[in-house]
Structure 1
Amino acid sequence: MGSENIDQQTRGGYVSDEVLGTFIPIIVYWVYSGLYLMLGGMDNYRLHSQKDEDEKNLVSKKEVVKGVLLQQVVQAAVATLLFTITGSDVESDGDQHASIFVRGIQFLVAMFMLDTWQYFMHRYMHQNKFLYKHIHSQHHRLIVPYAFGALYNHPLEGLLLDTIGGALAFLVSGMSPRTSIFFFSFATIKTVDDHCGLWLPGNLFHTIFKNNSAYHDIHHQLYGTKFNYSQPFFVTWDRILGTYMPYELEKRRGGGFEAKPVNDCKEH
């Protein structure tokens, strides 16, 4: 019995994949958003001025931090429960033998599942006046998004949109706890990047994904609240269902960029 306990401890380097899968994405959130916080003074790359961020947002940064921490507590609790219920005590050796191709397919399935869930839930929270007024409008208090506000939501929205969406992506894709560490860390980085409020040269997310900081910034403006629901990866559902609002970047007087719609769909 003693040797079995030692094996269980050493198998994951004294920390199980389930524990790492629960807490690494949370650590990644604060580390990555912290990097963007240090870059926040780069006025030449901001999508909004610092003055707009300070004056237009309807919630203090202290309240944003408290809201995000609350969501992450719920997120950790649900992840722990999920790993326990599914019996995801998968042996590391078996996971190591999974091919890169298999893991790639699991990533793509999880990305599609998460995108699909979040698009329709997000859109419904805009279309249902009660849900928007009492739940989703909390996220839109950040008219000028910034990195560590990415997960600032009403607790119920955080549970329904992000946490349950992540759980479904995990279950449907069939990924292991070890693979989930990488997937949810990547999804966290992408979500933070979409809310960073910066358009930095050389950012691979802007090259690879149409769904990026400028695309999501459009959604946070009054004329874009009925468009660009897609998050966090692709714009597929927006394109298919007619809620896609393309944009162009213009140099803003005083430095930085401004994302503007390129057609008159905001009038529809």
Structure 2
Amino acid sequence: MAAADHNPFVNETSFYNQMVLSHLLPASLWEPLPHFLQTWLRNYLAANMLYFISGFLWCFYIYYVKLNVYVPKESIPTRKTMIKHISVAMKAMPWQSLLPTVTEYMVEHGWTLCYSTVDHFNWFLCFLYIALYLALVEFGVYFIHKELHDNKFLYKHLHATHHIYNKQKTISPFSGYAFHPLDGIIQSLPHVISLFIVPIHLRSHLILLFLEGLWTANIHDYIHGDIWPVMGAGYHTVHHKTYKHNYGHYTIYMDWMFGSLKAPLAEEEDNFKEK
């Protein structure tokens, strides 16, 4: 404990564990656990909360509040389909929660370039490093995602689990995490690798992971926001239909540079004609 008291990263992650677990579970269930297992349990429960809250709220908004505005009634996925999405995601969630847990372990042991405080820090460099971090994530996700398609073994045994959802009535905000567990981990690796290349505040990293969760639900809602250069749901829907375009993450830049970009406008018109 004495060593932990002088480790700002352990203190910070312990605070997050306490904040989440104390509100969700009796102390007798989690306090006796080692710090690593507490962190995994916190990540697992937090990921589930983010998945269900964002999924239910977004589905309620686009399928009920804005019915026939974004998605025609006849194109809304059935409850059975969305329950299938949830079932696949729930099988993957315990394993996918291991990656951020292992990442925090590496941060706590000083193996990454993460820093724990912004006191006396150059704010220009702080934001510059965040921009570089996001650029590395964009680069890494593109090539990993593309390889998951190009490599027949990886596609068949990993990524095909997600790509059975390829039509409007089979895609919903809940399908965003309907991955093979190892597929989800592999596609998240750029977030981890970037910590060894770019200095970044630990809290900034965790916030970006939270936003990643929201983004994953958003790009599976079938709504084309048409906000250049964002790789929104319209572009990602094209990816689910063609299997060979729009591998990018947040932006269209990587697909534009490597010739795999396909605009969603024509595809979007076809979607609303589907019965």
Q: TM-score range, shorter-chain basis?
A: 0.7 to 0.9
Q: Which residue of 2 aligns with 1:45?
A: 69
Q: Which residue of 2 aligns with 1:62?
A: 83
Q: Is the 8 A contact 1:95 1:178 kept in 2?
A: no
Q: Which amino acid in the other structure matches residue 44 of structure 1?
A: N
Give per-residue Cα distances to partners, 1:203-247, cap 9 Å, x unaligned.
Answer: 6xx4354300111111111xx21111112x111121111111123
Q: Which residue of 1 aligns with 2:27?
A: none
Separation of aligned partners in 2, 1:14 and 1:154:
30
Please report the TM-score for the alignment, with normalisation by the length of structure 2: 0.72
Give per-residue Cα distances to partners, 1:171-198, cap 9 Å, x unaligned.
Answer: 3332232111211112222222111223
Q: Which residue of 1 aligns with 2:161?
A: 138
Alignment of 1:111-126 (within 5 A): 111-126=134-149
Q: Which amino acid in the other structure matches residue 79 of structure 1?
A: P
Separation of aligned partners in 1, 2:57 and 2:7:
37
Which of the pair has the greater relative contact order for Cα pairs under 8 Å at 6+ separation? 1
Q: Percent of aligned pairs with the same residue?
A: 17
Name the CA shift for 1:245/1:192 in 2 (closer, same or farther; >3 Å): same
Name the CA shift for 1:7/1:154 in 2 (closer, same or farther; >3 Å): closer
Q: Which runs of 5+ in 2 are unaligned?
A: 18-35
Q: Which residue of 1 aligns with 2:257?
A: 240
Q: Which residue of 2 aligns with 1:225?
A: 243
Match of 2:186 among 160, 166, 184: 160
Q: Is the 8 A contact 2:96 2:181 kept in 1?
A: no
Name the CA shift for 1:13/1:124 in 2 (closer, same or farther; >3 Å): closer
Q: Which runs of 5+ in 1 are unaligned?
A: 260-268
Please report the TM-score for the alignment, with normalisation by the length of structure 1: 0.73
Separation of aligned partners in 2, 1:9 and 1:244:
40
Compute the RMSD of aligned alpha carbons: 3.8
Q: Which residue of 2 aligns with 1:148?
A: 174
Q: Kindly tell me the number of residue pairs found equivalent between the two proteins.
A: 244
